[in-house]
Structure 1
């Protein structure tokens, strides 16, 4: 723990007012926020309802979905197992999953456990998670406007099926393991399989034994068991017209539990963040000094953003280090992280998807520092010249169903349109070495990097949101 700066006067009051307005503006049915500082809970508030239809209020013990914040728990479990001598992060994945292979990856340069945990395996984004989730959503109200036709799609409902699916994929690997970062839910799905093979126990049981139970957390994976506690939130999603509707069926994907299917309360996350900031020797199998492996970046997507093991990393944020992760699935928006120099941890959970809770997380940090609460995390760059914009414009695709980024020239420069619905997310401003920020009406909130192929400086791909997007054919 580094030098702790005292918080700005009235920071929690400023943050609370901002949070109340944020929840109303984004029509969030229910949410909970916890802030820990100095080993204590500085702030813990719930907003709205865990069940809007039953008028049941959310509280600090309401169980919310964590989505991809689960990855940090998977990574911590791996460190605990390594400390016990059950596995090593350097082990080839094929030691535990001998049937695993992927086009373009070779036994001479094997994918190791740490490659999967740091998104540096070379696996490209593919549709496996979407295929796995699809059966659990048949009959849900959201299916009317959110369904995809996966008739005849591969079955990806257990670990052998996940391995078989990846082995049969035709999209080649991006690069040799350890070379580039590209966010891979499939890689974390495989980590669940590795943990089961290494221990002989089910992945949820291992996470509970190694992390959840020793820390005294009520978090759990099984939806039925969570519902039986009477504390599980209902889920909500938005129609194309902006109406927030009840969407009761939880997304389920047994082969991807390690990717994003843990459920936890804000109180749980406060305990978890306090441990990460002030680890107690003997609490977990992993020694406190070994936790640094979680936050050692294996590769940088660009100089602004890196990835450790289950954690996104940002250095040089007002002289501080940020360790954080977000999550999003249907009915889930989450953002959790720490600022070690401030001995500060923040967790935000909501029961509506597509809520920009990252901005509320940053608002807490900004409040502490006495900055404007809505201040974005990045500095402005320079708009591209007409010649630069002409080279960069085009369509880039990740391979996931929502993974589309279109860069179009307009009167304001180079505009970014994201996803299947071509949502306007802002304009591109250039930094150095092909890096850029995306600037919306409030400032630069996202960053990425153009990957050039040597043909007159025309980008062949884009790294954005930690994912690799290839230029679409003919674009």
Structure 2
């Protein structure tokens, strides 16, 4: 009896040790993958050789497990980038606009299949608009509205942020249909501009306030803005626009005042650590959206397309599904990606528009290694 009990205890002890060894090995593997990712970013930055900066963060479940910055946020003053350095997100803003849409759907303020003209009757002025080309909020959010990528209005993407709504209204009569409504995927910046203004009309509140109150404040994204306040301007990385031999900072600097209509589709400033909180929210931490509504955003079939959901691209590689969106504006590039069915997510942000780091490829490589 005693020998039997001892044998059982020995088996339990060995089993516990094995689990401990396995956990330690997995931790080392995780550290190894992250170290390789860090070295790659450093090497890329050195290869680009323009004294720019790259900042990144990695999420596991509902916490940030790694966050670092490399290079200079301002190469003229030799200011080093750090984890509080702010960049422009570009089109990652579209994911926030889609998230706001689903919040309003969840509250019964709007329905996905509502015609846009219900909230924004000016949309009837679109070129070629008719009873057969009515577009819905869902179609705008999934880029299946058939609308052109940009309006034909001169300087539509220029001008102070305070007048972005006026630019949307002025852009609508100059915007055409490039495909059949609801049939084809056609990436449309102006479509997301129209979506943002429509949501504002439906909620009876300015769009930027809706995002601030419902997402930034709710997630404690305290370094995220549409217009960076004066006391935080020193944290914004200086954008380097153009190629390696023709860099200029004038355009990015000018665009801090506004990019015309491009607010709901490309207006957010943020940091990797703040965007990490948005990834957590996309996983229900905290539960700003129900699991069912989060699933809609991350489901390819919702748009009828192979690799797009609602405000996100979904790239499939074997059993790995990477939910992601990138962004690029003058002087800045960014990428947000996470494993839909796994634990990890990554954000990479940079204050220039070219170089060794293919942000989407680097993000996907990391998530595959962590999968």
Give the TM-score, by structure 2 length. Answer: 0.82
Task: Look up the match of 2:131.
Answer: 107
Is the helix fraction higher in 1 or 2? Answer: 2
Task: Look up the match of 1:295.
Answer: 298
Task: Note if contact 1:219-1:262 (Cα within 8 Å) is conserved in structure 2.
Answer: no
Offset of 1:174 from its aligned partner? 2.7
Closer, same or farther: CA 226–233 of 1 in aligned 2, 3 Å:
farther
2:190 paired residue among 186, 189, 205: 186
**For the residues of structure 2 that align with 1:352 and 1:309, how far apart are their CA atoms?**
28
Offset of 1:71 from its aligned partner? 0.5
Task: Note if contact 1:221-1:257 (Cα within 8 Å) is conserved in structure 2.
Answer: no
State the superposition RMSD in angstroms. 2.5
Equivalent residue of 2:254, what SS? coil
Closer, same or farther: CA 227–249 of 1 in aligned 2, 3 Å:
farther
**For the residues of structure 2 that align with 1:332 and 1:48, how far apart are their CA atoms?**
14
Equivalent residue of 2:325, what SS? strand
**For the residues of structure 2 that align with 1:125 and 1:198, how far apart are their CA atoms?**
24
Give the TM-score, by structure 1 length. Answer: 0.65
Task: Note if contact 1:129-1:253 (Cα within 8 Å) is conserved in structure 2.
Answer: no
Offset of 1:227 from its aligned partner? 5.7
**For the residues of structure 2 that align with 1:130 and 1:290, how far apart are their CA atoms?**
38
Task: Look up the match of 1:139.
Answer: none
Which runs of 5 or more residues in structure 2 are unaligned?
1-25
Task: Look up the match of 2:308.
Answer: 307
5 Å-filtered alignment, 1:59-458, equals 59-101=82-124, 102-127=126-151, 131-135=155-159, 158-169=164-175, 171=176, 173-225=177-229, 228=232, 230-239=234-243, 242-247=245-250, 248-250=253-255, 252-281=258-287, 284=288, 286-297=289-300, 298-299=302-303, 303=306, 306-315=307-316, 317-355=317-355, 356-368=358-370
Closer, same or farther: CA 266–168 of 1 in aligned 2, 3 Å:
closer
CA deviations over 1:166-217 (Å, ceiling 9, x no partner): 3244x5x233321000100000111121122112221110011111111110
Higher relative contact order (CA 8 A, sep 6+): 2
Offset of 1:129 from its aligned partner? 8.3
**For the residues of structure 1 that align with 2:318 and 2:299, how far apart are their CA atoms?**
20
Which runs of 5 or more residues in structure 1 are unaligned?
1-5, 137-155, 370-475
**For the residues of structure 2 that align with 1:244 and 1:253, how far apart are their CA atoms?**
20
Task: Note if contact 1:226-1:232 (Cα within 8 Å) is conserved in structure 2.
Answer: no
Task: Note if contact 1:122-1:182 (Cα within 8 Å) is conserved in structure 2.
Answer: yes
CA deviations over 1:272-295 (Å, ceiling 9, x no partner): 2222234333xx2x3233211111
Equivalent residue of 1:259, what SS? coil
**For the residues of structure 2 that align with 1:130 and 1:364, how far apart are their CA atoms?**
41
Task: Note if contact 2:58-2:345 (Cα within 8 Å) is conserved in structure 1.
Answer: yes
Task: Note if contact 2:153-2:174 (Cα within 8 Å) is conserved in structure 1.
Answer: no
CA deviations over 1:227-280 (Å, ceiling 9, x no partner): 6353222211234x6243434323522422100110011110122222223433
Task: Note if contact 1:322-1:340 (Cα within 8 Å) is conserved in structure 2.
Answer: yes
**For the residues of structure 2 that align with 1:226 and 1:290, how far apart are their CA atoms?**
37
Task: Note if contact 1:311-1:323 (Cα within 8 Å) is conserved in structure 2.
Answer: yes
Task: Look up the match of 1:25.
Answer: 47
Is the strand fraction higher in 1 or 2? Answer: 1
Task: Note if contact 1:307-1:313 (Cα within 8 Å) is conserved in structure 2.
Answer: yes
Offset of 1:313 from its aligned partner? 1.1
Closer, same or farther: CA 66–335 of 1 in aligned 2, 3 Å:
same
**For the residues of structure 2 that align with 1:278 and 1:81, how far apart are their CA atoms?**
17
CA deviations over 1:306-362 (Å, ceiling 9, x no partner): 2111101112x1321110010000011000011123211010001112343222212
Task: Note if contact 1:32-1:349 (Cα within 8 Å) is conserved in structure 2.
Answer: yes
**For the residues of structure 1 that align with 2:270 and 2:136, how far apart are their CA atoms?**
29
